[in-house]
C-alpha cells in the first residue's frame, strides 16, 4: 500500500474548493447565530477531534 498522496493540481479544483469553503462558512455562521451570546465570544467553540 502506497502512503504517497496523489498530486491534485489546485487549478483543476479551485472552484470546488472555493464553494466548499463558502458552504463551511455558512454552516459556521448559522451555528454562531443560533447559539446564545456569552461574554467575549466564548460561545464560539472550536471542537478538536482526531483529524484536527
* Tens digits of pLDDT across the chain (52 residues): 778 988 889 999 999 999 999 998 998 888 888 888 877 767 777 777 777 6
Q: How far, in Å, CA of 1 to CA of 33, rounded?
A: 45
Amino acid 34: pLDDT:
86
Amino acid 22: pLDDT:
94
Amino acid 21: pLDDT:
92
Q: Show Cβ contacts of residue 44 under 8 Å, excluding neighbours closer than 6 positions.
A: 32, 35
Amino acid 52: pLDDT:
62
User: CA Rg, the chain, in Å?
Assistant: 17
The pTM (predicted TM-score) of the whole model is: 0.57
Amino acid at each position: 500500500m502506497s502512503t504517497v498522496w496523489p498530486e491534485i493540481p489546485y487549478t483543476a479544483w479551485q472552484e470546488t474548493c472555493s464553494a466548499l469553503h463558502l458552504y463551511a462558512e455558512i454552516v459556521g455562521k448559522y451555528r454562531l447565530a443560533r447559539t446564545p451570546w456569552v461574554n467575549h465570544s466564548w460561545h464560539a467553540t472550536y471542537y478538536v477531534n482526531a483529524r484536527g
